[in-house]
Structure 1
Amino acid sequence: MNQESIQEKLNERFQKQFDRNTKRRRLQLRVLQNWWLIAVLILGIYAGLPIAAPVMMKAGITQPAETIYNIYGFACHQFAFRSVFLFGEQTFYPRESAQSNLTSFEARAAQSEQFRAEYSRQSGIPLDELTPERLTNELTIWSPELQFAARNFVGDEQMGYKIALCQRDIAIYLTMVIAGAIYGLFLRRRLRPVPLWLYVLLGLGPIALDGFSQLLGYPPFELWEPRETTPFFRILTGSLFGLMNVWLAFPYLNASIQESIESLSRQLEQAKAEFHAMLERTKAATQES
């Protein structure tokens, strides 16, 4: 085998190695360039599965739905009286203390055979003794039995089936999906991060005020008379928090990733130039020999 044939085989090997490295770097570059889309897709899946749970329950696909409820139970209290219901008489069933115009959770859950059975299991009260009237009175008391029963109860045909995240949480993540998509499609090149004071004022302030003013009224704190916030304020404060999270985080992420994109682009151009220079040198060396 002459020198020229050996050099051709070496060049082919170098070309294959160069092509592999180039494909890998271009894939990395494509992922970085579409980071916001990947983030929105991940958030969309996280927010979409809890909505899929009541759809599955309505369709009779109960086992996957129960799995979703169980998984998201680690991230959310899932109280039925603070949840969003689909396919039922109402979208929300707030507690009586929320002073809503909607039928209260106490009144409606007391008529649900599924909830009565769940409350009976949690409280130890025999089901035949747990009349709707007695259950309504029981539900006015903030108790562990109420909390566990409201957490485990996913709904029924009349009330509908709850989303696997509470009102505030689903508002946070759905808003992040929408805001993230708008940012990526229209604002990525010009939107700067939200000032920290505005993030605290509109992002953290409302959700902390609404949430803690409710939390601190219940045991074990009981700093004041218990208050139950309304679905409107839960969704509003959750949406503000989600919007501010995107406005704060996405521009910072974009700036950091843009630096990585520029660095990787330079590496690609440099590798290409070095490879072609090497081919020219080997070609010249072969001709001289």
Structure 2
Amino acid sequence: MSTATLKSRPLTFQSIGEWLSIHWFQIFLTVYGMWVFVPFLAPFFMHIGWDRAGKAIYFIYSFFCHQLPERSFFLFGQKSMYSLVEIKTAWQDTINPMILRQFIGNENMGWKIAWSDRMISFYTSIWLFAVAWSPLRRKIKPLPWWGFALLLLPIALDGITHTISDFAGIGQGFRDTNQWLILLTNNSLPATLYAGDAPGSFNSLTRLITGLLAGLGIVWLVFPSMEESFGKN
């Protein structure tokens, strides 16, 4: 049914449903895109002096992300990421995550994005994979459930091991030193790969890669299924 036909009909629940079935993808890109990309405005607002707007974004998104600064990207500063030692020096000498997450940056270090690195990878990849899926929508079939589970398994394992590691204290756990990885690889890889959360480190790479895989799995399963469902109605 064309949009013109819908416009000529009285507004009913059925007509609204038909309109949504036609425009669901554009609605998703707009609404979800706003949700995903608003956190990038927080450091911009702080940088230009709109502190209230920036802090409001940090506050709202703190309910959906841990926002630990040592696992976040910074904009308008000297570096894109900072180590736990650097954060503690600039903020407070603590490993309490509830205190650490309150650090949003400063004029020298820049301001953190209101998403952590994993959330950036996960949430933005869903939007980007959705955009990539659109021109191929008639060719791509829904991902089998076992394939979906395989793509979600890495982020589940990475997230669970990070959580268990953090029980020892931020910066004190087995995922902070990654001694197990040193033993597994016979210490044959660059030292910067093993410890910490810096860009290019094992922890940073796994959070980014597993987020991408999970985003791919969600789009590959959900979007072709929705396309088939709306196409039948």
Fold shared by both chains (TM-score > 0.5):
yes
State the 1:179 CA deviation: 0.8
Aligned twin of 2:58: 69
SS in 2 for 1:161: strand
Residues 77 and 109, structure 2, Cα contact 8 Å, conserved in 1 = yes
Aligned twin of 1:165: 115
The count of aligned residue pairs is 200
Structure 2 residue 124 is the aligned partner of structure 1 residue 174: yes
Unaligned runs of 5+ in 2: 1-6, 177-201
After TM superposition, the structure 1 = structure 2 runs for residues 37-116 of structure 1, keeping only pairs within 5 Å, are 37-93=26-82, 104-106=83-85, 108-112=86-90, 115=91
> Residues 138-187 of structure 1, C-alpha deviation per residue, up to 9 Å, x if partnerless?
x5xxx43xx12221110112211111111111111111111111212x11
Aligned partner of 2:149: which letter?
V
Aligned partner of 1:61: which letter?
W
Residues 81 and 105, structure 1, Cα contact 8 Å, conserved in 2 = yes
> Residues 6-63 of structure 1, C-alpha deviation per residue, up to 9 Å, x if partnerless?
xxxxxxxxxxxx9443899766544322211211212211111101111111111110
Aligned twin of 2:25: 36
After TM superposition, the structure 1 = structure 2 runs for residues 148-227 of structure 1, keeping only pairs within 5 Å, are 148-184=98-134, 186-202=135-151, 204-219=152-167, 225-227=173-175
- For residues 80 and 24 of structure 1, the distance between their equivalents in structure 2, rounded to whole angstroms, comes to 46
Aligned partner of 1:235: which letter?
L
- For residues 182 and 194 of structure 1, the distance between their equivalents in structure 2, rounded to whole angstroms, comes to 15
Aligned partner of 1:109: which letter?
I
State the 1:77 CA deviation: 0.8
Aligned twin of 1:232: 205
Residues 9 and 15, structure 2, Cα contact 8 Å, conserved in 1 = no
Q: State the Cα RMSD in Å.
A: 2.5
| TM-score computed with the length of structure 2 as normaliser | 0.77
SS in 1 for 2:114: strand
Aligned partner of 2:161: which letter?
S
After TM superposition, the structure 1 = structure 2 runs for residues 126-145 of structure 1, keeping only pairs within 5 Å, are 135=93, 139=94, 143-144=95-96
Name which structure has the greater RCO, CA cutoff 8 Å, separation 6+: 1
Aligned twin of 1:254: 227
Residues 194 and 244, structure 1, Cα contact 8 Å, conserved in 2 = yes
- For residues 20 and 237 of structure 1, the distance between their equivalents in structure 2, rounded to whole angstroms, comes to 47
- For residues 42 and 29 of structure 1, the distance between their equivalents in structure 2, rounded to whole angstroms, comes to 19
- For residues 218 and 111 of structure 1, the distance between their equivalents in structure 2, rounded to whole angstroms, comes to 20
Aligned partner of 2:218: which letter?
N
Q: 1:26 to 1:217 in 2, by over 3 A?
A: closer
Q: 1:109 to 1:220 in 2, by over 3 A?
A: closer
Percent identical: 32
- For residues 102 and 125 of structure 2, the distance between their equivalents in structure 1, rounded to whole angstroms, comes to 26
SS in 1 for 2:10: helix
Q: 1:225 to 1:48 in 2, by over 3 A?
A: closer
Residues 43 and 176, structure 1, Cα contact 8 Å, conserved in 2 = no
State the 4+ residue runs in structure 1 displaced beyond 6 angstroms. 22-27
State the 1:190 CA deviation: 1.7
- For residues 84 and 140 of structure 2, the distance between their equivalents in structure 1, rounded to whole angstroms, comes to 43
> Residues 219-254 of structure 1, C-alpha deviation per residue, up to 9 Å, x if partnerless?
279xx9521362222111111111111111111111
Aligned partner of 1:217: which letter?
S
Aligned twin of 2:197: none
Aligned partner of 1:70: which letter?
F
